Homo-oligomer: A and B are copies of this chain.
Amino acid sequence: MKRRDFIKKAAGGALVAASATTAAPAIAARKRFNWKLVTTWPPNFPIFQEGVEKFAKDIELMSDRNLRISVFAGGELVPALQTFDAVSQGTVQMGHGAAYYWAGKVPAAQFFTAVPFGMNAQGMNAWLYQGAGLNLWRDVYKPFNLMPFPMGNTGVQMGGWFRKKINSIDDLKGLKMRIPGLGGKVMAKAGVNPVLLAGGEIYTALERGTIDATEWVGPFHDQRLGLYRAAKNYYYPGWHEPGPVLELTCNLQAWQELPREYQIMIETAAAAANTWMLAEFEAKNLLALRELKQKYKVEVLEFPADVIKELRRLTDETLEEEANKDKTFRQVYQAYKSYRENNDTWNEISEAAYARALKL
């Protein structure tokens, strides 16, 4: 039954109920929805999966249980890396993950998560919500029948754990490192042998020396994986994923069939979860970092300036090569670059100047 038909029927028939409402409360006809949301995260994956569950709960409460979203972790309903297709085809209504997981299908999607030496969380939020970034993202996903929303951000991810100190760019040559995506491509140009490993395999590989280095997320998740005790390790700040945006996707037809009130609930709850997750990452990372340093004596170093400069040069080279392969990638790259240039100038006299002032 269409919503309009039902309202007519109810209005014609419900005389008793209608009179009961004249005092104060309203009787509203509300359509019920039972939706499914599949994620790319392991069950109970802290913050990532938690944030999605909080989002679904918020919507269930706001809609007085009329929009119920059942959340499934990666593999529970569909394999983690098939969530894009599952939502695109309408097998389920919603998905949660990170746009750069779909780089094989949509190379340009990487700009909506993070690129090496790209914008941090604050920059990404401003670009997406206000700087035309979100419209661009929606254009890019439309052919796939998907409506994306920013929902979560990990903050600056760490550069990773290395079994030996990196004193020059030559020290990277021949290293086997677990590092996926564009970061991996850049590292390959620097002579690294990038290895793909799922989260569950990293610890053992590093402990046994099958790999010489790995990145994962940040202090909190890295500590949970035990990376600090996989070997005598040096821990380096990040450069390859400076503020990865997590994404909510919604099947386009499912979205269009939703009454406006539920659409706004989803949009609003996703933005709230975006803030909630970044806050959670920051608050957990700072405690984990303290423990890693104080209790486990982890040595945090910085890459030498020459290494950073060379990685940045190789990043520009990599992005240019990718842009030559894919028209949409180039289009998004240009929009991103031009926004980002002004953002850097502003950041330089706001956040960056303030960070310098705090160090004096």
Contact = CB atoms under 8 A, between A and B. Distances in A.
Contacts of A279: 125-126, 128-130
Contact of A62 (B16, B23, B62, B359): B62
A123 interface: yes
Nearest to A351: B156
A58 interface: yes
Nearest to A268: B272
Interface string A344-358: 111111111111011
A238 B354 contact: yes
A106 to B, nearest CB: 24
Interface string A281-310: 011111101100100000010110100110
A279 B134 CA distance: 12
A260 interface: yes
B156 A350 contact: yes
Contact of A289 (B10, B276, B346): B346
Interface stretch (A1-9, A85-93, A200-208, A318-326): A1-9
Interface string A249-280: 00000000000110011011101101110111
A200 to B, nearest CB: 25
Contacts of A302: 349, 353
A196 interface: no
Report copies per complex.
2
Main secondary structure of the interface of A (DSSP, over half): helix
Contacts of A199: none
A25 B6 contact: yes
B130 A354 contact: no
Interface in A133-173: 155-156, 158
Contact of A20 (B13, B61, B130): B13
A123 B286 CA distance: 11
Contact of A30 (B3, B28, B264, B360): B28
Nearest to A349: B237
Given A13-B20, A25-B31, A130-B280, A355 B346 contact: no
Given A125-B279, A265-B62, A343-B286, A359 B352 contact: yes
Interface residues of A, number: 99
A26 interface: yes
A121 interface: yes
A72 interface: no
A360 B131 contact: no
A149 to B, nearest CB: 11
A17 interface: yes
A342 interface: yes
Interface in A202-219: 218-219
B10 A24 contact: no
B283 A127 contact: yes
A41 interface: no
A272 B267 CA distance: 9
A117 B357 CA distance: 8
B218 A58 contact: no
A70 interface: no
B286 A345 contact: yes
A223 interface: no
Contacts of A353: 156, 237-238, 302
5 contacts: A26-B32, A28-B64, A131-B283, A274-B275, A282-B343
